[in-house]
Amino acid sequence: MSLASLASRRAGSANPEAGLTLVELVISIAIMGMIIGPLTGAAIFFLSQGQRGSSATSDDTSVRAVVSTFTTDVQSAETVTVPDPAPCGSSNPALATLTWSDNNGTIFRASWFAETVASQRTLVRRRCTGTSLVATAQVADVQGTPTVTCVPSCANAATLELAGVVANGEQFSVSAARRPS
């Protein structure tokens, strides 16, 4: 007998204010527990999967930003300084500074740093024109400090590689060739 039929049967009885018996109440609470328990587990599962998906998307976006920006800088570079004690726009040493000039003789520099910003380790790119800081971009949140490797050497680098781990654990390695001198 369902709860609805019990309620309707009791509504027509001599005592219209009578509620459920103790047995009926215990059975209805047990049924609700059997329904709510799995629903709660499912909700927790789906919420945790959503957070994992968000982390993966964040990692992917960070890696794409590093690949795009670092590759462009390396392909433009006429000179490479790894590490750079006197970088563009900061008194702290940079992982690398890439320098190039345009047809008008304007000198551009892009310096790459690993800095702590708001308690998060971040890969930062600062771009200067001449000696003036033009832009600062937080490229990606990272774990630790990424490394820059030059092939065959940093004095005469044909290829540069930037490698590290983004904040949520995905490893990245970006390799780009410099333009021929």
- The pLDDT tens digits of the residues spanning 121-177 come to 888 899 998 888 988 888 888 888 999 998 888 878 889 999 998 887 888 888 898
Domain boundaries of the chain, sorted by first residue: 3-49, 62-177
User: Following CA atoms 46, 51, 54, 60 in sequence, which dihedral angle do they give, to the nearest 10 degrees?
Assistant: -110
What is residue 54's predicted lDDT score, i.e. its pLDDT? 56
Per-position DSSP letters for 68-111, written without gaps between them: HHHHHHHHH-SEEESSBSS-TT-SSPBSEEEEEE-TT--EEEEE
Instruction: Give pTM, 2 decimals.
Output: 0.65
